[in-house]
Structure 1
Amino acid sequence: MADTLIELQNNPEAAEMPHPDWLGLLVDREVTARDNRRLMRRLTGAKLRQAATIENVDYRPARDPDRSLFQTLATGQWIRDHNHLVIVGPTSTGKSWLACALGNKACRNGFSVLYKRVSRLFADLAQARGEGRLARLIAALERVNLLVLDGWGPEPLTADQRRDLLEIVDDRYDKRSLLITSQLPVSQWYDVIADPTLGDVILDRIIHNAHRIELKGDSLRRRADDRIQA
């Protein structure tokens, strides 16, 4: 507001403006500045892997993304409803990119977001367990509106990883949202969990209220290499 006031004072044309208009402009600028600062904090805290936005999504038929579903997801209503999202498809078809694009839009919609590679998440959990701060880390994960878990599978989980995942998923059930990407179809996730009983519980918490995007087509990296060579 102070910066805007100085700007108005140095603008000869502003002298003709009624004082209520000055006040309205000062308040509008302050609100915009605060919103921008909050957005930057959310984006910084999200630690998204890629600078992706939904405005640049590739809807070409070869990839087969569901345009109407994706545009619905972009509104963020699924996060308000505490639903989940699963994005599956072959390697390098853009799963991580889409996840980051939706994470970026969630930040812009006012939600807190955290991106984690699944392998890095389990490494962080193992370190926290050894340092006696596992409960604190899991509590921090629980507070995030949208937790993005990128790169699920294909290695089977250990006993500790299964228990940690169950606690994370259970904490978020009907309270917060998950976005999971995987090169494996959902039918093979039981093999990753590697425990029939916990597998039923974990997948029930994830799948029953989850939207799904199934990507198809060739590797985006391969297509980019082919264009360069051409």
Structure 2
Amino acid sequence: MAVTDKSVLYQHGTLSLLVPGLFEGTMTIGELLQHGNSGIGTVQDFNGEMVILDGHAYQVVETGEVHELTAEQSVPFATVHFDDPKVTTHETKLTKADVEQKLLTDYPYKNVFYAVKIRGIFSHMLTRVVQKQEKPYPNLTESTKTQPKFKQENVEGTLIGYYAPELFQGVAVAGYHVHFLSNDHSIGGHVLDYTLAEGDVSIQPFASLQQHFPLEDPAFLKEDFNYAGMSTSINKAEK
């Protein structure tokens, strides 16, 4: 049954399943969008970075091109919510570090999941995009050794993503994990760095996390996860 509660964060798969290279799509975009109209993730075959805005799912591929995903395409891992910010403030001249610290300082949400959304003009934006993988899939560390990077100045667009408490490393990325898509689709992907020239910064905390597992995926069910090295692998690939 689809979740419509705006206080619920919905996640299909876990970030940890990407570590050994479980990149097979196990939920369709059509089904995923029943659980949220905003979010981030990756696509079948670990093929690029996904950005979900206003009920539309976009795939940024290694060439930098942006495609809208169809309902039939699938994802191994994604996190979504129904956009309903608790607070929105207009900010100017903030770096990535400024924004991240400001949200933790100004709001009492360091121990819960919350969504971050910034719509505005970025004087500097740096992203990267994972490359499509072929079967048999390599692990996360191998598959992220080469990641094309994209840089643009004075670009207008939307940053979307999440903060997760340290306790949930493996379920998600502990700390901030955000993606970007410009209004003209000229740049997007996993955000490495940015400077906000001017824009609206929104925060949406969640009372619940609904974790959905790929129960029909035999590879996931049979995998013996190496938890000892998992956090290191995630930090190398995602931060």
Q: Provide TM-score, normalisation by structure 1.
A: 0.25
Normalized per residue, which structure has more helix? Answer: 1
> Computing the radius of gyration over CA atoms, which structure comes out larger, 1 or 2?
1
